Amino acid sequence: MEHLLFAAYLVGFSWLVTRVKFFTRSGLTPSQLVILFLLKVMAGIFYGWIGVYYGEMAQMIDTWAYHVESMQEYAMLKAHPLSFFTSLFHTTYEGGYTNFLTTHNSWWNDVKGNFLIKIMAVFNLFSFGHYYINVIFYSFITLFGPMAFYRVMQDVFGGRKFPLLAACFLLPSFLYWTSGLHKEGLIFLGLSLMIYHFYFGFKEGRFPVYRVLLILLGFCLVLILRNFLIFTFLPPLVAWVLARKLPVRPLYTFLGVLALFLVFFFNARYLHPKLDLPLATSIKQREFLRLGGGSAVNVNLLQPTPASFLANAPQALSLTLVRPYPSDVRHLLSLAAATEVVLLILAFITFLLWRRETPMLTPFLLFLLFLSFGVLMMIGYTVNILGAIVRYRSIILPLLFAPMAACIDWDRIGRLVRRAS
């Protein structure tokens, strides 16, 4: 019965992706839409399989733990539907909802897992508790994220269909981590909703109600599932808005906003003690250090001072941009991640050598660049577990590599290849 239900849902949703206007307006053919959807489903199934056979070794047990807890929530949903929804907002912690930046005794720390479990419990209504059928539902919902970003990139660059397809949908770690039943797919959906509707809102010069509501939906998804991303999203957004208005080079505007944000970051505690952002960052690093794990690496201890953040910056960038090294390989996933790093470095070199004459320092592209590096730096400062680093950074890779893929002169490379052959 499970297999028949899986096949029925797979066929049904494969048909649906060819009918949803948001997908069809991307310019992709029905066959291409179905292929992208099926690739996400396959990646999600592989994700679940890895969780079964390599769970503890590859730190992949969370997805099945969420599934088990979702079955309990599924029972609550059927028996007490009102309690099912209201329990998400219940807290017994002494600080209530105030411990925004802490990871212990914090509703904000618990809600990211509880929210995902609630979503999976709703899936269970239609899948009757079958994990791999839930993958189909999740793949359909999270397909809206890369599709939204792809449509923005198409509008920015135009005519670069296949390089953008590869960069927006098919980067290996991005496809893998955003297709599995975990948080990354919904986080990228939240980021993409905000990027898509800010971009087209600015372009059209208006923000109708539906656009504002979808921006708020994206904001809430990111706030609930990975709240620190809000701190890395807002400064580039402010710079993007100002760069469109001020009569100075956009780069100067972004650097100025970044400087002001850094001043705020290191001095916000004087406004309120709970806004000690450097201390919260250093505590977060210590919590990851205590976790250990097979892919943990030694790092310098981060102190809540500007000097320590500056000294640790090269280490942070190294962790997020070029790890894992080949010497870090311990299992299938780390081998895939190390291989991807090599391929992405080669793509960056290709971009430097064979770039088309395309403006790169526009306000929007600077927004993507500053947002990406802000997230990468935050990950590098706090996380020392390579498996977690690969997962966390996966949602940023399309933001970095889609503009590069669009700006590489593929025609010139093709001519060089033909001459060499």
**DSSP secondary structure string for all residues of 311-343:** HHHHHHHHHHHHPSPGGG--SHHHHHHHHHHHH
- pLDDT attached to residue 355: 87
Q: What is the pLDDT tens value at each position of the chain, 421 positions in all?
A: 788 999 999 999 999 999 999 999 999 999 999 999 999 999 999 999 887 776 555 456 688 889 899 999 989 998 888 988 888 888 777 666 666 666 666 777 778 888 999 999 999 999 999 999 999 999 999 999 999 999 999 999 987 889 999 999 999 999 999 999 999 999 999 999 999 999 999 999 999 999 999 999 999 999 999 988 998 999 999 999 999 988 889 999 999 999 999 999 999 888 888 788 899 899 888 888 887 666 788 889 999 999 999 999 999 999 999 988 888 887 777 888 889 999 999 999 999 888 887 777 899 999 999 999 999 999 999 998 888 899 999 999 999 999 999 998 888 888 887 887 7
Whether 220 and 71 map to the same domain: the answer is: yes
- pLDDT attached to residue 60: 60
Q: Which two tokens stand for residue 38?
A: 């099926």
Chain-centroid distance, C-alpha 245: 29
Query: Is the residue at 312 inside a domain?
Result: yes
Query: Is the residue at 86 inside a domain?
Result: yes
Whether 215 and 258 map to the same domain: the answer is: no
Whether 59 and 127 map to the same domain: the answer is: yes
- pLDDT attached to residue 349: 92
Helix/strand/coil percent split, the chain, to 5: 75, 0, 25
C-beta separation of 372 from 396 below 8 A: yes
Whether 270 and 381 map to the same domain: the answer is: yes
Whether 60 and 127 map to the same domain: the answer is: yes
Whether 315 and 283 map to the same domain: the answer is: yes
DSSP 171: -
The pTM score is 0.93
- pLDDT attached to residue 296: 80
Count of structural domains within the chain: 2
Whether 213 and 84 map to the same domain: the answer is: yes
Whether 53 and 198 map to the same domain: the answer is: yes
Whether 182 and 329 map to the same domain: the answer is: no
- pLDDT attached to residue 139: 97
Domain extent, residue 68, equals: 1-226
Query: Is the residue at 238 inside a domain?
Result: no
C-beta separation of 66 from 113 below 8 A: yes
Query: Is the residue at 236 inside a domain?
Result: no
- The beta-carbon contacts of 64-67 under 8 Å, at least 24 apart in sequence, are 64/131, 66/113, 66/116, 66/117, 66/120, 66/181, 66/182, 67/120, 67/131, 67/134, 67/181
